[in-house]
């Protein structure tokens, strides 16, 4: 495995076509596109890493997996009143479907859906309390207390909030948001601004590898059924309107973020994190996807067969 990761990282370092770094959040536009990291964590406690796997980056939408897990823990299946579970086939920040579907977002991984999930986590709590809970939950998942919010990224996104604020206002107009729009999106931006490196991110995904149990720490995070369902949502919706392409090329449940990270789960085998800041035209890491494709090709880990 270590040789394979070294080989992949070596190839990715040399790639000339690297995609475009997200620039609609100015703080992300400063990140060096030459970076590439990959980490594989296995349920028996091994961690393999190569390239810039210990360099922190903004996990952005990958945080939606952790927020969903927390929200399901609080609300159980009643969460599905507020957000659907169908692929959207639309860009991550699209407003079009919301109008047709009376303000109920298609799934928890498009921005509108993630905003609805934050609203559900907030029930009766102030943003500060929610953020403290979110951060300690992600620290617990990764088994690492060093994880932090990158406040500069959150502030940068807040300055350019208009698209996400529109989604939230639109849902509010349909009576679907329970809290003040500014409080909800402020919380959402901080959630997206969690900084992690590939090793930490791979470790945080371990509960999805082993039916809801992090076998390394010996803790059950969710039931086996819930872990399976979260994986299926990642497969169907984790890469926005590129989810079909990701399933076709990689064949693993995965969630991408505009910071260039991807968390992918090979059930019963490993949790994998890749990071390269350059994005394809849909907003998914170009080299991250390519690296996962190579890894799956070599390991036969696709859930669809060897």
Q: Any idea which residues carry the catalytic annotation?
A: 61, 64, 188, 240, 258
Task: Among 8, 194, 209, 258, indicate the residue that binds ligand GLU (CB under 6 A).
Answer: 258
Q: How far apart are the first and last CA of the chain?
A: 17
For the CB of residue 223, give the shortest distance to ligand GLU in the complex, in Å. 27
The answer to whether residue 107 forms part of the interface with ligand GLU (CB under 6 A) is: no
- Angstrom distance (rounded) from CA 265 to CA 206: 8
Of residues 147 and 258, the one with the C-beta less far from ligand GLU: 258
Taking CB under 6 A as the rule, does residue 93 contact ligand GLU?
A: yes
- The reply to whether 164 sits near ligand GLU by the rule CB under 6 A is yes
Q: Is 157 in the site for ligand GLU (CB under 6 A)?
A: yes
Contact between 110 and ligand GLU by CB under 6 A: the answer reads: no
Backbone angles phi, psi at 154, to 5 degrees: -60, -45
Nearer CB in complex with ligand GLU: 111/243: 111
Q: Which two tokens stand for residue 215?
A: 């076998």
Task: Work out whether 242 is an interface residue with ligand GLU (CB under 6 A).
Answer: no
Residues 31 to 70 in contact with ligand GLU, rule: CB under 6 A = 60-61
Q: How far is the CB of 164 from ligand GLU (least distance, A)?
A: 5
Q: Which one, of 136, 272, 141, lies nearest residue 217 by Cα?
A: 141
Can you state the angle between helices 181-192 and 111-122, rounded to 10 degrees?
110
Whole-angstrom distance, CA of residue 157 vs CA of residue 70: 23
Q: How far apart are CA 277 and CA 32, in angstroms?
A: 7
Distance (Å, whole) CA 145 – CA 290: 31
Q: Of 50 and 168, which has the nearer Cβ to ligand GLU?
A: 168
Which residue, chain included where needed, has tokens 């991984």?
A: 109
What is the binding site for ligand GLU (CB under 6 A)? 60-61, 92-93, 111, 157, 164, 192, 257-258, 283
């Amino acid at each position: 495995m270590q040789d394979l990761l070294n080989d992949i990282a070596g190839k990715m370092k040399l790639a000339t076509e690297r995609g475009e770094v997200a620039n609609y959040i100015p703080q992300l536009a400063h990140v060096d596109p030459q970076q590439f990291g990959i980490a594989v964590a296995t349920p028996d406690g091994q961690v393999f890493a190569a390239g810039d796997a210990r360099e922190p980056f903004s996990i952005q939408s990958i945080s939606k997996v952790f927020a969903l897990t927390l929200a399901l823990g609080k609300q159980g299946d009643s969460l599905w009143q507020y957000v659907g579970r169908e692929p959207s086939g639309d860009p991550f920040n699209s407003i079009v479907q919301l109008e047709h579907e009376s303000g109920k977002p298609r799934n928890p991984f498009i921005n509108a859906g993630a905003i609805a999930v934050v609203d559900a986590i907030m029930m009766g709590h102030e943003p500060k309390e929610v953020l403290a809970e979110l951060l300690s939950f992600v620290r617990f998942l990764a088994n690492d207390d060093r994880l932090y919010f990158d406040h500069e990224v959150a502030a940068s996104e807040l300055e350019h909030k208009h698209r996400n604020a529109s989604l939230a206002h639109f849902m509010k107009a349909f009576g679907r948001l329970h809290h003040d729009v500014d409080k909800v999106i402020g919380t959402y931006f901080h959630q997206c601004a969690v900084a992690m490196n590939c090793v930490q991110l791979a470790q945080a995904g371990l509960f999805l590898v082993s039916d809801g149990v992090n076998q390394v720490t010996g803790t059950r995070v969710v039931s086996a059924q819930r872990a399976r369902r979260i994986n299926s949502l990642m497969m169907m919706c984790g890469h926005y309107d590129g989810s079909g392409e990701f399933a076709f090329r990689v064949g693993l449940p995965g969630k991408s973020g505009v910071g260039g990270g991807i968390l992918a789960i090979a059930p019963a085998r490993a949790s994998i994190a890749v990071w390269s800041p350059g994005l394809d035209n849909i907003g998914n890491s170009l080299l991250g996807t390519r690296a996962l494709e190579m890894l799956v090709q070599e390991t036969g880990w696709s859930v669809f067969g060897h």
